């Protein structure tokens, strides 16, 4: 996922370990993808598109 985002946006990403199945992608403090909202992990390319690539 980090490599996909870097390739699409040329920005380094940071994984912050959590628990309870939480998976959220934020860009500049704005949530662009939330597993809690969708009920699933992003499909290939979906995270990059959500991040604005």
Phi-psi region of 4 (alpha: psi -120 to 50; beta: other; left: phi over 0): alpha
What predicted TM-score, i.e. pTM, was given to this entire model? 0.71
pLDDT for 40 equals 94
Angle at 9 between CA 29 and CA 49, to 5 degrees: 75
Check residue 10 and give its pLDDT: 80
pLDDT at 39: 93
Helix (H, G, I), strand (E, B) or coil at 13: coil
Question: Is 53's pLDDT higher than 70?
Answer: no
Question: Which domain does 18 fall in, by range?
Answer: 2-50
Structural domains of the chain, count: 1
Q: What is the arithmetic mean of pLDDT over 20-41?
A: 88
Per residue in 12-29, pLDDT (tens digit) is: 777 777 788 888 888 888
């Amino acid at each position: 996922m980090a490599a996909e985002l870097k390739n699409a946006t040329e920005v380094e990403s940071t994984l912050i370990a959590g628990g309870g199945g939480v998976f959220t992608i934020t860009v500049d403090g704005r949530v662009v993808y939330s597993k809690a909202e969708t009920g699933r992990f992003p499909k290939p390319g979906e995270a990059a598109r959500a991040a604005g690539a």
